[in-house]
Amino acid sequence: MPGQYINRKYTRSIMVILRFLWAFSYLWAMMHAAAILPIPYERWENNFWSKKRNYVLTYKSLFEFKMKTEMYVHVLVFVVLFSLYRCCQCRLIGARFMLPGLDRPSNKYRLMALAAPYWFAFIGTWTISTLITVWGLILVVKRDESDRTYVLIAQLIIAMLFKLMVLANVYSTVLRIWGYIKIFEKDSIVGQLNYNNFGDHLDLFFRV
């Protein structure tokens, strides 16, 4: 039985596109996850002799899902991926043979300069939404008079854990990217050939 024919050119092209879309979706999702916040809304329950104040928990986002806002987020994400591409100095699809001492990847300062707007936006959004979540937790503990106080507190604690998991995930990704960029710099100094394309590097950076 003849062996199966594999067109490696198109296979590598498709994998680069898929990994790019996955990395793009990851960065987009992390930005929106940082903007999610639970908000307790005050509500009064009328009894026969008195009124009782309670809170209902709803979830919102600091970002409004409008075309203009989404365009800003997409531009920030695209700039991060472009900065990674420039720092690796790899081929988009094919392999690039790096010459020792000449084809050195861009230094870490260029990566920080190009990707800084996204990371600053992420950190600022995460900080604001987390502070609002903490304030909501304090508000419920002090003012809620219903029988669902402990349920609301548990929901707010779960929201806080979610925010911490998002931060930890992004932090570990940034450290992994930084580590691989430094490895690429050392390999270029000793003349190590780089056969990877951009999709292969995205696989290393984001585990896609």
The pTM for the full model equals 0.81
Query: Amino acid letter at 138?
Result: I
3-state secondary structure of 141: helix
Asked if residue 28 is part of any domain, the answer here is yes
Asked if residue 44 is part of any domain, the answer here is no
The total domain count for the chain is 1
Task: Please write the tens of the pLDDT for every residue from 98-119.
Answer: 555 445 555 556 666 788 899 9
Asked if residue 96 is part of any domain, the answer here is yes
Asked if residue 114 is part of any domain, the answer here is yes
DSSP string spanning 18-69? HHHHHHHHHHHHHHHHHHEEEEEEEEEEE-SS-EEEEEEEEEEESS---HHH
Asked if residue 26 is part of any domain, the answer here is yes
Instruction: Calculate what percentage of the chain has a pLDDT beyond 70.
Output: 74
3-state secondary structure of 205: helix
Task: Please write the tens of the pLDDT for every residue from 150-193.
Answer: 877 888 888 889 999 999 999 999 999 888 888 777 766 555 56
Joined tokens for residue 81? 């991926």
Where does residue 1 rank: exposed (0-12), middle (13-18), buried (19+ CB within 10 A)? exposed
DSSP 101: T
Asked if residue 16 is part of any domain, the answer here is yes
Does the pLDDT of residue 24 top 70, yes or no? yes
Q: Which residues on neighbouring strands pair with residue 41, listed in sequence order? A: 56
Give 59 or 123, the one with higher predicted confidence. 123
3-state secondary structure of 171: helix
Joined tokens for residue 50? 């008195």
Asked if residue 46 is part of any domain, the answer here is no
Asked if residue 166 is part of any domain, the answer here is yes
Task: Please write the tens of the pLDDT for every residue from 75-102.
Answer: 999 999 988 888 776 776 765 555 554 4
Gap between the Cα atoms of 114 and 17, Å rounded: 22
Domain that holds residue 114: 8-32+65-206
